[in-house]
Structure 1
Amino acid sequence: MCNYTQQSDFTLVGFFSQSKHAALLAVVIFMVFLVVLSGNALLILLIHSDTRLHTPMYFFISQLSLMDMMYICVTVPKMLMDQLLGKHKISAAACGIQMFLYLTLGGSEFFLLATMSYDRYVAICHPLRYPVLMNRRVCLLLTSVCWLLGSLDGFMLTPVTMTFPFCRSRKIHHFFCEVPAVTKLSCSDTWLYETFMYLCCVLMLLITVTIISSSYSSILLTVHRMNSAEGRKKALATCSSHMTVVILFYGAAVYTYMLPVSFHTPEKDMMWRSKNDLMWWEGEGTLNKDIQG
């Protein structure tokens, strides 16, 4: 029974072992975590308490902040607690739950960013019809669809990944249970599954990128026809900050799930993921700041 328990657990290597100043790095990550958590919580509270902010744009921002809070709570606390207690074990059940939540929130943010670009398209290109096209029922429906599509991603990939036989080392060379890192531990042939995962990512990217590209193409044409320099500047500022967040988030997904295996190493994946998370949090803060301005 003891041997079975040990074999059923995974070990998260993390990237603190690669650092000469692990304690200092952990403190910095903890401080950034608190700033991001408190900033998003205050933003959600402000949007819901101020009736002037009860608009579709701020509703989607509040949903983005909620997803971001949950997103970092899935991975960062476990990583910091492992470093503090010196225990890097995670059970198969906890690993599956972490993987499912990560995939669900990541997929939901994909579709929510596309929804936000559509919201900007309607606001800039059809301002008179905006209250009708983006009423509260439509906003709730769009947000529900984003959550649903994101959860489908988690429901499809998590069970398959966790049912692979793991007869190799159970050390996950990452700071959380990410699908590619866990799949590498399997002793079975995962080529078909990796191909399926690749096709799912391509399909998700094609759908969302098509929505974003179409929205911004129409926005640029409308902005080009504007006579007001102030209105043109404000529209471009909002769009540029949103596109920065889109590039950061989508760029990480392309690197993680769509590049060939030869481009990946465990160390490179961990450092890329941690650096991208910090840039993503900063990018979302810029988005919120620019939109509020």
Structure 2
Amino acid sequence: MLQDIVEYLVCPHCGQALTPHGAVLRCAARHSFDIARQGYVSLLPGDAHTGTGDTAAMVAARDDFLGAGHYAPIADALARAAVGARSGADLVVDLGAGTGHYLAAVLDALPAAHGIALDISKFALRRAARAHPRAGAVVSDAWRTLPLRDASASLVLNVFAPRNGPEIRRVLRPGGTLLVVSPTPRHLGELVGELGLLGVDERKEERLAATLGPYLEFAGSSEQTFPLYLDHAAVRTVVGMGPSAWHTDPAALAERIAALPEPAPVTASVMLSVFTRPGEPGRDQD
């Protein structure tokens, strides 16, 4: 519920605390933000000129694919890592949360924690607002200042999403943990070749370390690889929910999918990387 996480939010214009007033959040400087009837709130600053993020069709595809359990091993690995982080998690922030699927899995494993789903797509957050009874959903841009108090989160999730190292460090409390899930070059490799999809950069892990290394300490990683057997409908869904949805011709894609065996054997392969903010909880070493 949004009301449960308001104490962690700040105004994107002036950085002051927000308080609820009926269906509006307002700061002391009288900046106000309407709570949508679907339960999320947009805290984008007025000068934001960003895209809309995932479209309604992409979000529906992701919801269908994740709801079918195809990526359950990823959600399970995240939940185990969240429990193992031992960071005393009371607030979990999912940066680029999408529908809130992974945040919900982590909150199920951390019964004392609340969660905030952050995403640029209002279509995704309409679903994220209902993903878990202890989660709230907020429209924000990962590349700008996040509308969160300094050192407010004990755990940050980042699953197939943009990473803003300075902001992640700012909102993580000392001793807090960041869990990053990113695809390896093997991820969906059978479909990449057959369908002409976007591949994964061979240097992705190197770029991840370069992006986050100046701000957080690397604490290890583990590869999660498992087989999928997808019917043609599921193949269309997994293509439609990712970045290849922006770069494929629908007619050509349909023809290529029809030529695949059914079910199509596909490899899912991701890296789960753990980073920490140095210092003990309650002691900022900056």
Q: Same fold (TM over 0.5)?
A: no
With normalisation by structure 2, the TM-score equals 0.23
With normalisation by structure 1, the TM-score equals 0.22
Query: Quick one: higher RCO (CA 8 Å, sep 6+), 1 or 2?
Result: 1
Between structures 1 and 2, the one with greater strand share: 2
